[in-house]
């Protein structure tokens, strides 16, 4: 496989992922961003934990969709993420993401 073929494949995968995101975003309530992944979910719980003087975050999500083009299945019933980095959680406003009705 040439570098050009690989680039074309990755571009197609990203476009497919974006289209899937566009199709499913309206069924989710929250957007969760971590340092490694982007998630859509309907339930999220964030807890700050301390162990040996280190602070980390435990994020638990249910009914989730994962933005990752290399995963064979992007829907997950339950997800738990542990991270030392920032976590961003936003509640979606569905009227902002619904396409205009013509």
DSSP string over 26-71: GG-SEEEE-SS-EEEEEEEEEEEEEETTEEEEEEEEEEEEE--TT-
* Residue pLDDT, tens place only, 35-89: 999 999 999 999 999 999 999 999 999 999 999 988 888 999 999 999 999 999 9
Least confident of 6-15, 23-32, 48-57, 90-99: 90-99
Q: What is the pTM of this model?
A: 0.81
Residue 5 has what pLDDT?
A: 84
**How many CA atoms, within 13 angstroms, populate the side-chain half-sphere of residue 38?**
7
pLDDT greater than 90 at residue 95: no
Residue 101 has what pLDDT?
A: 58
Residue 71 has what pLDDT?
A: 87
């Amino acid at each position: 496989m040439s570098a050009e073929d690989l680039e074309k494949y990755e571009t197609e995968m990203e476009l497919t992922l974006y289209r899937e995101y566009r199709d499913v975003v309206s069924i989710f309530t929250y957007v969760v961003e971590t340092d490694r992944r982007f998630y859509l979910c309907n339930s999220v719980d964030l807890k700050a934990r301390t162990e040996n003087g280190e602070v980390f975050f435990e994020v638990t999500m249910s009914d989730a969709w994962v933005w990752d083009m290399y995963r064979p299945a992007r829907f997950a019933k339950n997800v738990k993420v542990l991270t030392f980095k920032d976590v961003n959680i936003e509640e979606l406003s569905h009227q902002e993401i619904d396409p205009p009705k013509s």
